[in-house]
A and B are shown apart, each in its own frame.
Chain A
């Protein structure tokens, strides 16, 4: 009988050790896989939205389930950070080659007063035929930006350009299941590294 007890004790101890190792390995793996990404970790459900595309169709985020989505808020009358970022996203899809078929770039205007469907139709495809520009009523845009913690405002500057906008300039990466995974601020805009991240989540 003592022998049986001993075996029970041994098995329990071995099990505990195994579980302990499991937890440790799991944590190492999780930390490592997060650190392996170039973008900043940004997790959660990506809120659904419905906006109008530059082709005049109603477009929902869930239409792109199964694809990775790169989302950027900007405006067409922005001569510096917006074309720079759109050019970077074009480089990302070029770098991805065949995989780019599973990636959708969305440009949401935060200047719906000036950026109507026609404006977006000439602007967005210039960077890539596959990119989609999205606009809506000021209220709709307001809601989406709010849901995405994106900020924008008209700036009180005496510029001859009418008005300038300040806006969140980070790019969001949403995985094929519709979850946020990463965010790229302007100091993390290396196209090859972004492409590497996308390959990992596809």
Chain B
């Protein structure tokens, strides 16, 4: 009898979980150091949604650059790479979305200052459900081999 009650309680518990809000966490965020003479770079991260509801990344902004845009790089069958701007990015319930080299990235345009390896930069993300999230990302140098291992 006790076991049945426990089972019912557990299933109720998991039911109530599925109605929970989206829970967004940003992990492994990093920004590429700027080569001299350039004022544009890309930020990468994993967006994890541990909640039971889909959420949507709606906009990005930063104090370190004039503008910030959500971009996706894609390579077609002829090997031509293109970047396109995305209006928003869906982060499905219990899934994570990866922003990585050669794929989605936050493009930081017209940086106010060059970014050096080891610096920390802050940007803000706005989600439909989770609202505004601040992200601290570390600047990673081109010599740091770990940065290209995220590729694909």
Give residues in A with beta carbon < 8 Å to B: 76-77, 79-81, 83-84, 86-88, 90-91, 118-119, 122-123, 126-127, 151, 155, 157-161, 164, 166-170, 183, 185-187, 189
Which residues of chain B come closer than 8 Å to A160, judged between CB atoms? 66-67, 69, 109-110
**A186 to B83, Cβ gap below 8 A?**
no
As a 0/1 sequence over residues 120 to 143 of chain B, the CB contacts with chain A under 8 angstroms (1 = contact) are 000000000000000000000011
**A159 to B80, Cβ gap below 8 A?**
no
Which residues of chain B come closer than 8 Å to A167, judged between CB atoms? 80-81
Chain A residue at minimum C-beta to C-beta distance from B37 = A122
Given contacts A160-B110, A168-B80, 11 further A-B contacts (CB under 8 A): A79-B32, A80-B73, A80-B83, A81-B73, A83-B142, A90-B142, A91-B148, A127-B142, A159-B107, A164-B83, A166-B82
For the residues of A in contact with B, the DSSP-based class is mixed
**B148 to A84, Cβ gap below 8 A?**
yes
Tally of contact residues, B, Cβ under 8 A: 36
Q: Quick check: is B102 within 8 A (CB to CB) of the other chain? A: yes
**A186 to B69, Cβ gap below 8 A?**
no
Which residues of chain B come closer than 8 Å to A91, judged between CB atoms? 145, 148
For the residues of B in contact with A, the DSSP-based class is strand
**B151 to A157, Cβ gap below 8 A?**
no
**A159 to B85, Cβ gap below 8 A?**
yes
**B107 to A161, Cβ gap below 8 A?**
yes
- Stretch of B17-25, B38-46, B55-63, B88-96 that contacts chain A: B38-46
Taken together as a complex, chains A and B put the C-alpha atoms of A168 and B79 apart, in Å, by 5
Whole-angstrom distance between the Cβ of B103 and the nearest chain A Cβ: 8
Q: Which 3 A-B pairs rank lowest in CB-CB distance, beginning with the nearest?
A: A122-B37, A169-B81, A166-B82
**A186 to B148, Cβ gap below 8 A?**
no
Which residues of chain A come closer than 8 Å to B145, judged between CB atoms? 91
Chain B residue at minimum C-beta to C-beta distance from A74 = B81
Knowing A166-B80, A166-B82, the reply to whether A83 touches B110 (Cβ < 8 A) is: no
**B35 to A126, Cβ gap below 8 A?**
yes
Chain B residue at minimum C-beta to C-beta distance from A169 = B81
Whole-angstrom distance between the Cβ of B69 and the nearest chain A Cβ: 6
Which residues of chain B come closer than 8 Å to A159, judged between CB atoms? 69, 71, 83, 85, 107, 109
Q: List 11 A-B contacts (CB under 8 A).
A: A76-B35, A80-B105, A84-B102, A119-B37, A157-B84, A158-B85, A160-B66, A161-B69, A168-B81, A169-B79, A185-B79
